[in-house]
Amino acid sequence: MKFLVDRCAGRRLAEWLKSQGHDVVEARTLGPDPGDLALLEIASRDGRVVVTLDRDFARLVYVRGIAHAGMMRLPDVPPDERIRLTRTVLERHSEDLATNAIVTVRGERIRISSPHSGQE
């Protein structure tokens, strides 16, 4: 799977995703922060799921209707917990992410918003 890992999601999570065989671009490697809209556009263009802690990406999608290739929004927890939650999401919801779903993790709850099922 292809991911764009936002700065706030962290280098350790990006490295873990790479170690699992995923194609990962870290926002921090793209130079000065281009902003959420530009990152979302890059991810959409390249078919990458955005991994973030930031609510602003979802606002861009839901309020402004910006195209995306999927999103995983994680809680602001320590890096090891973020990795554990990401592992769980990938084990249970990779197919959803592959179809441009928005996956939101809150504690142990996972919410899927799928463009195909109308869920939110």
What band does 49 get if pLDDT is binned at 50, 70 and 90? very high
Residues in the chain: 120
What band does 120 get if pLDDT is binned at 50, 70 and 90? very low
User: Per-domain residue ranges for the chain?
Assistant: 2-113
Question: What is the rounded average pLDDT of the residues 35-56?
Answer: 93
Report which of residues 38 and 31 the model is more confident about: 38
Write down the CATH number for the domain with range 2-113: 3.40.50
The answer on pLDDT for 93 being more than 70 is yes
Q: Is 26 helix (H, G, I), strand (E, B) or coil?
A: strand
Helix or strand (DSSP H, E) at 109:
strand 109-113
**DSSP codes, 46-84:** HT-EEEES-THHHHHHHTT----S-EEE--S--HHHHHH
86 with 72: CB under 8 angstroms? yes
Q: What do you get for the CA distance between the two ends of the chain, in Å?
A: 22
The answer on pLDDT for 117 being more than 80 is no
67 with 44: CB under 8 angstroms? yes
What does the pLDDT read at residue 118? 38
